[in-house]
Chains A and B, each alone.
Chain A
């Protein structure tokens, strides 16, 4: 059970956010290419930060509470999943908020008129 702690937290994040896709129809998963293109630089840059932080000893992971799958560089699989899950959840929340509040985010078709 212990090895699943971190994966369980990530699953919890997904459960908390994924319902927005069908219920508020935020269409984030439907725009999966845009989502993947967003996640790519995030995973790369924050993965590098993570590697540097582990190398510098800023933080470490309890081997008893991660799956044990390690990626090249030694990061636990969960860390890279974290950098995909958290941004995806943030985007789901962002799209839900903008749709409910009907406020612009800057990527609307007529985005040239600037109104915060």
Chain B
């Protein structure tokens, strides 16, 4: 084994820093949709992972169509939009059919959405088969940029990072600068009064739920650059997603951001210093410890209950 030079050490440090940031962006993208639904509506959506899978499968279908038409280089950004629409519409319908009957019954929504997740998994299995699929991706997204000797920054990591930033900014704008956001916040603070001043609270619920599911779809589409998609892929994501949302504080967007960053960095720094499994254990122990001290999570929203 040759000696590690200081330049190589610097390169490793840089790439490792990027690994942490890219894990942060993955976690953030996964958690945003859930944070909106959980935080603003109090609904625990166990089918969140399956809505991600809807996004992934949408991308897969589009990639098959695109490769037939020879549009492989350009289809990917459109597939993100398509994933948002498909997952969003599915969420909208789910809200009408099921969720709206279960408000104020958090345990029932938990069970019901879990049932939905099982049904969706079986649908994926019947339609796409049990084999995991992965869409054919444009060449430009799979390579790496090399700002210096021995430094490789993966393009798909940059892409997910950029997307997470964009989506977060978009959601923040909608929540805090738009009329609709005002209505959402009003409804979550006091449904009765919000209704009394003329806000269609049912419509607000429906759109909020659809938005959360749509964001899950975008996350799913983006993850096709990182991982393959199978019928049960969603259940792999759901635990990390809940961890981020609960740790950050259910009703707080800033909390979700901070928690994704903390968990992402902690996990990847620890992982570099010890084995992967030990890093996971330490991260989880830290999170559990902090939650015991602050049951509301890192940030608590000032909501009148």
Co-assembled chains A and B: no
Chain B residues close to A by CB (< 8 Å): none
